[in-house]
Amino acid sequence: MLKISHAGNEVLKTFAPLLERTRTREWIWILFLLAIIGWGLYGLYLQITVGHTVTGMRDNVVWGIYIANFIFFIGISYAGAVISGFLHLLKVEWRKPIIRIAELITVIATLIGPLFILLCVGRLDRLHHLVLYARLQSPITWDVLAISTYLVGGLIFLYLATIKDFAIYRDSTTLNYPNGKENSLRSWP
C-alpha cells in the first residue's frame, strides 16, 4: 500500500469531484468533440470515395501536405522523448509531472503522425499488405517497423511514468467509489 502525503491528499481532495463524476458541461464538450471527429471521418470518406480532388490538391504534389504533417508530428514525438529523457537524467523532484506530460505528448504524436501517411496512401483496403508482403528494400517497411517500435517504447515509458499515480488513485481513501463499494483494484493481486 502506497502512503500518500498530506499535500498529496489535499490535491486529491481538490480534484476528487472531477475524477468521480462527469458534469453536464463536460458531456456537452464530449459530444461537440465527437461531432468534430464525425465530420472529419465524413471528410475522409469523401476523400477515399471521390479522390484527392476534394482536398483541393489536384497537382502532382498531393502528398506534400500529408508528408509535412507526418514529419511535424514525428518531430513533436521525438521532442517529447528528448525532454523526458533529459529530465529523467537530471533526477530533480519537480521533473516528474513534466516527464508524464512529455511522455503523453510522445505517445499521442506517434499515434497521430502515421495517420497522415494513411491519408496519403489512398488504398486503405490494401493496408495489411504493409505487414504481409513487406520488402526489406522498401523505405515504408522500415517506417512501419521504426514507428511501431517507437510507439511500444513510448507506451512503456508512459506506463512507468504514471504507475505511481495509478497507485495513488488505487490506495486513496479520499475518493468515493460507485455504489459505496471499495475500489475493486485493491483486491487485485
- Taking the C-alpha atoms of residue 119 and residue 131, their distance in angstroms, rounded to an integer, is 18
Residue 80 lies in a domain: yes
Q: What is the pTM of this model?
A: 0.73
Amino acid, single-letter form, for residue 169: Y
Domains in the chain, number: 1
Amino acid, single-letter form, for residue 134: A
User: pLDDT higher for 89 or 177?
Assistant: 89
Residue 189 lies in a domain: no
Q: How would residue 162 be classed by pLDDT, with cut points 50, 70 and 90?
A: confident
For 50, phi and psi rounded to 5 degrees? -90, -40
- DSSP letter at 93? T
Residues spanned by the domain of 34: 6-177
Residue 187 lies in a domain: no
Residue 1 lies in a domain: no
- Runs of H (alpha helix) within 21-136: 24-50, 63-90, 95-121, 129-132
Q: Report pLDDT digits (tens) over 30-44.
A: 999 999 999 999 988
